[in-house]
């Protein structure tokens, strides 16, 4: 996805820069070759310096081109060897024939340096393999695995290492070319050899048995022992791409509050740092063979917020009950995916989702559908009456999707009209929060998004007002929140070093995080002028925090609409599908209590009037009814219903009692929560 987005959004200026860098590098190499053959000392020096400078630009700002050169068999090693050999050739052409033998030692030294460079790379690969553990953890004390800091980044990446280690040799050859003194080149080559030897020694020490982490079998035995001691009961299983972590993150808090011993199971190593701050133990099990060790654990329930190619691998474990909770509900076809029938149960928010599965006839039986509400929405504050100041409107369109349906997003056909209509009302404050994938498939959506942002910036320039005094509160709150949610890593840190630093969380961190988040949100909104429109694209504030500030939502057919209904506030849905209003409402029940906006956005003024004057709001009772259909009743709370569903499914797993599962006798406490003896 990220590569696709980069390809779609690649601006012409960046393409021009890449072409220019490649042209300069090619010209420098050709010029260096000509200067070496002629020979011409000033030209040789200038071409070599230019070539070296371009290498620095490549590794600092044009990483994509480094990979492109490597695929073209012109990687850094080839370029570096060619650069040095041309320098040596130039020196030989400048030196009288009877003195050429003096450079034999220099050539031998260069060859030795490159041999050492290859040796360092080979040992670096061995070190990396010893540090690639079959189990990666977070929020778990894994010190028994002899975890150590990672080698310096320079020793792990051959390109930058060759540039740094080879710099003295190249510089020495340049000075020799300028002065005719071979000792300068000899000194530079000796320095390069010394740097390479130091790097090799550092890596070899890390291969000593006492310095390397535990081996694969030892790690697996440790993992089995940890499972036996922790005795997990309910887990969250997740596998996905780099931009999909939000699907799991929305279920972290409900999982942490559930009864029993929670666990998060991941499949991709990179995902370990994508999961948001939580005290729940996290394990990453990349291999199927390691994943299947969960069969011998006390784990009874796995919750799945998304489907992936690796989901089928964990579904093989018969001792665990599996449930699909999805990462949001809407009227889109993805909310009744046929894959859902692979799970033991499907947990949905309310009756509407149950009806959706029945109507879709995708093989999900009604008896397997459990209504739990949306626990994440317990933090959404209910409607508290009309605004006393400016009407805060949240425009949160979704992205364009993969199927090319023009009704997926309003950004292309209606976004600018909606924003212009809102900005035309001086009593409106706009919060624009586009979907993070906007423009990743259709360039028109990305272009429309940029134009919308410019409209907002232009409107802010025309507004004037007093800005809140900066008392430093937001900075303090941000610092505290960052302390609780992030771990400072060196740039060279690998998964083993991160395991070492992300051990068992400090007691009370979850409570402190809740308080810090609330304090940050108060400080954030207080730091902004009430009259200023905002473009919200960062992870903070969250969508639900924007819900609590908004008096009105304008969105598309998406889970955003369903979630906003928890507030009971007015909302509008943009209809860019080409359907008439009645057909649109029939096709998308979540729009049943919404004001339906056409692409020209002519209904915006009337919508704003209904927000300011609740007596004109004819959809209030419809919203309350739709909320019950989509999200279920207010009592008991969604978190309570989620907990009950976990307990019921865990009980079903225990009743199954399949052989082969190492389970200790469990008891259920009087409160109904799962407890384990001892």
Tell me where in the chain the CATH 3.40.50.2000 domain(s) lie. 231-377, 391-459+495-631
pLDDT tens track for 610-668: 999 999 999 999 999 999 999 999 899 999 999 999 999 999 999 876 544 444 444 44
Q: Measured at the alpha carbon of residue 133, what is the angle toward residues 129 and 135, in degrees to the nearest 5?
A: 160
For the packed helices 76-94 and 12-37, what is the interaxial angle rounded to 10 degrees?
Answer: 30
| pLDDT band at residue 401 under the 50/70/90 scheme | confident
pLDDT in tens, 184-240: 999 999 999 999 999 999 999 999 999 999 999 999 999 999 999 999 999 999 999
Which candidate, 596, 500, 614, places its Cα nearest to that of 146? 500
| CA dist., res. 423 & res. 578, Å (int) | 26
CA distance 213 to 133: 8
Lowest average pLDDT, out of 97-101, 115-119, 194-198, 521-525, goes to 97-101
> At residue 632, what are phi and psi to the nearest 5 degrees?
85, -175
Confidence of residue 44 (pLDDT cuts 50, 70, 90): confident
**If DSSP codes are grouped into helix, strand and coil, which group holds residue 168?**
helix
Distance of CA 622 to the CA centre of its chain: 37
Write the DSSP symbol of residue 551.
Answer: S
Instruction: State residue 677's pLDDT score.
Output: 35
The tokens describing 299, both together, are 């784990």
Please give the CATH topology (third level) of the domain spanning 231-377.
Rossmann fold (3.40.50)
What are the DSSP calls for 38-94, one per residue? TT-HHHHHHHHHHHHHHHHHHHHH-HHHHHHHHHTT--HHHHHHHHHHHHHHHHHHH
Among residues 495, 492, 489, 498, which one has the least CA distance to residue 153?
492
- List the single range of 122-131, 310-319, 362-371, 652-661 with lowest mean pLDDT: 652-661
DSSP 355-397: HHHHHHTSS--GGGEEE---GGGGGSPPP--S-SSSEEEEEE-
Return d(Cα 52, Cα 565) in angstroms, integer.
Answer: 59
**What is the average per-residue pLDDT within 380-406?**
90
CA distances (Å), 290 to each of 36, 248, 265, 303, 659, in order?
A: 57, 21, 11, 19, 19
State the pLDDT confidence band at 407, using cuts at 50, 70 and 90. Answer: confident
Asked if residue 334 has pLDDT above 70, the reply is no
Could you report the per-residue pLDDT of 486-512, keeping only the tens digit for each?
A: 888 888 899 999 999 999 998 888 899
Mean pLDDT, to the nearest integer, of 546-563? 94
State the average pLDDT over residues 165-175. Answer: 91
Say if residue 532 is exposed, middle or buried (CB neighbours under 10 Å; 0-12, 13-18, 19+): middle
Give the mean model confidence (pLDDT) for residues 67-94.
82
Tokens of 287: 């291999």
Q: Give the residue ranges of DSSP H helices in 527-661.
A: 543-549, 559-564, 581-587, 604-612, 620-631, 638-656
Which residues touch 504 (CB under 8 Å, ≥6 apart)?
139, 140, 141
648-675 per-residue burial string, b: 16 or more CB within 10 A, e: under 16: ebbbebbeeeeeebebeebeeeeeeebe
Which of 28-42, 91-105, 310-324 has the largest mean confidence? 310-324
What pLDDT score was predicted for residue 226? 97
| List of residues 6+ apart from 534 with CB closer than 8 A | 429, 430, 431, 432, 456, 528
Amino acid 11: pLDDT: 46
pLDDT (0 to 100) of residue 395: 98
What is the predicted pLDDT for the residue at 10?
42
Do 400 and 412 form a contact (C-beta atoms < 8 A)?
yes
CATH topology of domain 391-459+495-631: Rossmann fold (3.40.50)
Integer Cα distance of 534 and 547 in angstroms: 14
Is residue 338 pLDDT above 90, yes or no? no
Q: What is the pLDDT of residue 660?
A: 44
pTM here is: 0.82
Mean pLDDT of 379-395: 93
Averaged pLDDT for residues 355-372: 89
**Residue 256 — very low, low, confident or very high, per pLDDT cuts 50/70/90?**
very high
Query: What contacts 109, CB < 8 A, 6 or more positions away?
Result: 169, 186, 189, 190, 193
Stretch 140-167: mean pLDDT: 92
Strand, coil or helix: what is 559?
A: helix
pLDDT at 350: 92
Q: Provide mean pLDDT across the span 80-109.
A: 80
Helices (DSSP H) in 95-215: which residue ranges? 104-130, 153-156, 158-179, 182-205
Band of residue 331 on the pLDDT scale cut at 50, 70, 90: low
Are β-strands 282-284 and 262-266 bridged in parallel, bridged antiparallel, or unpaired?
A: parallel
The Cα–Cα gap between 453 and 433 comes to 10
Q: How confident is the model at residue 100 (pLDDT cuts 50, 70, 90)?
A: low
How many angstroms separate the CA atoms of 504 and 487, rounded?
Answer: 13
pLDDT, one tens digit per residue, over 431-490 is 999 998 899 899 999 999 999 999 999 999 998 788 898 889 999 999 999 988 888 888
Bridge partners for 148 per DSSP: none
What proportion of the chain, given as a percentage, has pLDDT over 90?
62
What's the pLDDT at 492?
Answer: 84
Average pLDDT value over all residues in the chain: 88
Rg (CA), the chain: 31
Contact (CB, 8 A) for 35 and 44: yes
| Mean pLDDT, range 266-270, rounded to an integer | 96
Are 607 and 629 in contact by the 8 Å Cβ rule? The answer is: no
For residues 395 and 430, is the Cβ–Cβ distance under 8 A?
yes
Higher pLDDT, 56 or 173: 173
Reading the block at residue 341, the tokens are 């029938």
Does position 14 have pLDDT exceeding 70, yes or no?
no
């Amino acid at each position: 996805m990220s590569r696709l987005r980069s390809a779609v959004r690649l601006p012409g200026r960046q393409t021009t820069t890449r072409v220019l860098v490649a042209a300069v590098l090619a010209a420098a190499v050709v010029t260096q070759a000509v200067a070496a053959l002629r020979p011409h000392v000033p030209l040789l020096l200038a071409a070599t310096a230019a070539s070296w400078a371009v290498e620095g630009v490549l590794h600092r700002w044009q990483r994509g081109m480094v990979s492109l050169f490597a695929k073209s068999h012109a990687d850094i090693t080839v370029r570096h060897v060619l650069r040095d050999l041309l320098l040596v050739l130039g020196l030989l052409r400048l030196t009288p024939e009877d003195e050429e033998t003096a450079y034999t030692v220099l050539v031998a030294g260069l060859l030795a340096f490159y041999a050492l460079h290859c040796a360092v790379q080979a040992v670096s690969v061995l070190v990396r393999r010893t540090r690639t553990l079959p189990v990666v953890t977070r929020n778990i004390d894994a010190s028994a695995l002899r975890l150590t800091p990672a080698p310096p980044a320079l020793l792990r990446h051959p390109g930058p290492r060759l540039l740094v280690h080879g710099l003295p040799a190249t510089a020495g050859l340049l000075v020799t070319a300028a002065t005719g003194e071979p000792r300068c080149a000899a000194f530079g080559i000796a320095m390069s050899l010394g740097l390479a030897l130091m790097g090799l020694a550092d890596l070899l020490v890390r291969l000593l048995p006492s310095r390397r982490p535990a081996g694969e079998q030892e790690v697996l035995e440790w993992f089995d022992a940890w499972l036996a001691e922790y005795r997990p009961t309910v887990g969250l299983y997740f596998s996905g791409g780099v931009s999909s972590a939000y699907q799991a993150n929305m279920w972290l808090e409900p999982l942490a509050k559930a009864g029993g011993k929670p666990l998060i199971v991941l499949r991709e190593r990179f995902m370990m740092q994508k999961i948001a701050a939580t005290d729940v133990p996290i394990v990453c099990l990349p291999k199927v063979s390691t994943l299947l060790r969960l069969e011998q654990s006390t784990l009874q329930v796995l919750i799945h917020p998304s489907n992936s190619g690796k989901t089928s691998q964990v579904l093989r474990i018969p001792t665990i009950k599996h449930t699909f909770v999805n990462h949001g509900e809407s009227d889109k076809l993805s909310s009744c995916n046929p894959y859902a029938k692979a799970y033991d149960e499907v947990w949905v928010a309310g009756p509407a989702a149950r009806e959706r599965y029945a109507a879709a006839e995708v093989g999900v039986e009604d008896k397997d559908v459990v209504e739990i509400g949306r626990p994440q929405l317990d933090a959404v504050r209910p409607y508290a009456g009309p605004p006393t100041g400016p009407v805060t409107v949240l425009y949160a369109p979704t992205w364009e999707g993969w199927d090319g349906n023009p009704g997926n997003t309003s950004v292309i056909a209606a976004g600018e009209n909606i924003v212009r209509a809102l900005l035309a009302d001086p009593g409106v404050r706009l919060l624009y929060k586009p979907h993070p994938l906007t423009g990743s498939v259709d360039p028109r959506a990305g272009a429309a998004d940029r134009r919308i942002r410019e409209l907002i910036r232009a409107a802010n320039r025309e507004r004037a007002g007093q800005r809140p005094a900066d008392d430093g509160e937001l900075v303090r709150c941000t610092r505290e929140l960052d302390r609780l949610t992030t771990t400072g890593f060196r740039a060279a840190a690998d998964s083993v070093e991160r395991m070492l630093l992300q051990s068992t969380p400090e007691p009370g961190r979850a409570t402190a995080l809740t308080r810090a988040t609330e304090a940050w949100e108060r400080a954030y909104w207080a730091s902004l002028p009430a009259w200023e429109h905002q473009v919200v694209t960062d992870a903070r504030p969250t969508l639900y925090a924007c819900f609590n500030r908004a008096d009105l939502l304008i969105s598309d057919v998406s889970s955003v609409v369903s979630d906003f209904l928890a507030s009971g506030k007015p909302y509008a849905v943009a209809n860019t599908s080409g359907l008439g209003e009645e057909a649109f409402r029939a096709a998308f029940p979540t729009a049943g209590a919404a004001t339906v906006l056409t692409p020209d956005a002519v209904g915006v003024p009337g919508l704003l009037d209904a927000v300011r004057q609740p007596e004109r709001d004819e959809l209030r009772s419809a919203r309350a009814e739709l909320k019950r259909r989509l999200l279920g009743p207010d009592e008991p709370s969604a978190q309570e219903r989620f907990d009950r569903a976990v307990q019921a499914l865990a009980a079903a797993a225990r009743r199954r009692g399949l052989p082969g599962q190492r389970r200790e006798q469990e008891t259920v406490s009087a409160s109904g929560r799962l407890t384990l003896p001892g």
